Amino acid sequence: MTEETVLQSKVPKAQAGQTLLDYLSNRFRYQTREAWDAIIRQGKVRVNEKAASPRQVLGKGYLVTYSVVLQEPPVDRNIRILHEEEGFLVASKPGRLPSHADGNFIKNTFIYILTETLRERGWKGEVHLVHRLDRETSGLLVVAKKPEAHLKLVRQFEGGTVEKEYLAEVDGAPTDRLVSRIRRGVELEDGLAKPTAVRVVAASGPRGALRLTMTEGRKREVRRLLAEVGLPVTRLVRLRIGPVKLGNLPPGELRELTPEEIRSLAQFTDM
C-alpha cells in the first residue's frame, strides 16, 4: 500500500491576506500555478484541517497541509556539520542533493534532512538557508537557526562582503589566455561575473582545475562563467565560505573550529 505524506506550512505575517492559490504557487514553486490549482480542487490541500478552495484568503498563522505520495529520486544524505552555535551553523552539502524543495525533491533535500537531524538532537525551531548551492555542487552552506541571525547573515551575503572559494574541475585546458579573461570578468546575461581571485591548481591534457574566489552569489554563477570561456565544469566544490574552510571530516561528524576561524567568524556574523 502506498503511504501518503502530509506536508505542512504555517502562514507568516508577510503572506497573510493572500489567497491559498497565490500562497502555494509563490512560496512552493516545485509545482506550477496550474498544478496547485488542480491539487487544491482535488481536496489534497486543507487549511486549519478543513477543506479549502483556491480563492480562500489566508490569515497569519493559518496551517496549510498538503497530502502527497512522495516518489523522490535517491540522494546522498551525508550532511556534515562543521560548526554550530545558538543562532546558526555551518554545514557541508554533498553533491546531487538539492538545497531546498524543488520538483520531485521535497524530503530528499539538504534543508529537510538537516532539520530532521537537529530535531533528533532536541532542536524544536525552524532553520533557514542563508544562501544556496545548486543540486550538483557540494560544499559549505550557512544555515540560520534564529530569525535575527537569518536577517543579519542574509545582509552580509547580499552586500557582497562574504568571500566564497570554489574548486572547479573543468573540461578543457585552463590556458594563461583563458585565466586572464576570467580575471578581467565575463559578461553574463545578468551582469558581469568577476572573481576576486583565480588560479590554476591542475592541468593535464584536455582537463584542468581552478580555484576561484567570488563575493556574489548569483544562480550557477561559477558554472556559467567558466562555460562562457569554454571550460565547462565537471565537478564543483565550495571549499570556503567567509573564514570557514571545508577540510576533511567524516560524514555526520562535528569538528571544532580553529581559534583563527572562531575570531574571524565572530566578525563575519557580527553576533
pLDDT in tens, 90-103: 898 999 899 988 77
pLDDT of res. 133: 87
Q: Which of 22, 134, 171, 270 is catalytic?
A: 134
Distance, in Å, from the CA atom of 65 to the CA atom of 68, rounded to the nearest integer, reads 10
CATH superfamily of 164-241: Alpha-L RNA-binding motif (3.30.70.1560)
Q: Is 134 a catalytic residue?
A: yes
5-68 belongs to CATH 3.10.290.10:
yes
Q: Same fold for the domain at 80-161+250-269 and the one at 164-241?
A: no
Bridge partners of residue 81, in order along the sequence = 91
Could you tell me the residue ranges of all domains in the chain? 5-68, 80-161+250-269, 164-241
**What is the assigned CATH class of domain 80-161+250-269?**
alpha beta
Confidence of residue 251 (pLDDT cuts 50, 70, 90): very low
Distance, in Å, from the CA atom of 11 to the CA atom of 33, rounded to the nearest integer, reads 18
Distance, in Å, from the CA atom of 119 to the CA atom of 102, rounded to the nearest integer, reads 22
* CA-wise closest residue to 198 among 218, 168, 220, 172: 168
Query: pLDDT (tens digit, 9 = 90+) per residue, 142-181?
Result: 899 988 888 888 888 887 778 889 999 999 999 999 999 9
Query: pLDDT (tens digit, 9 = 90+) per residue, 30-42?
Result: 788 999 999 999 9
The percent of residues above 90 in pLDDT, for the chain, comes to 50
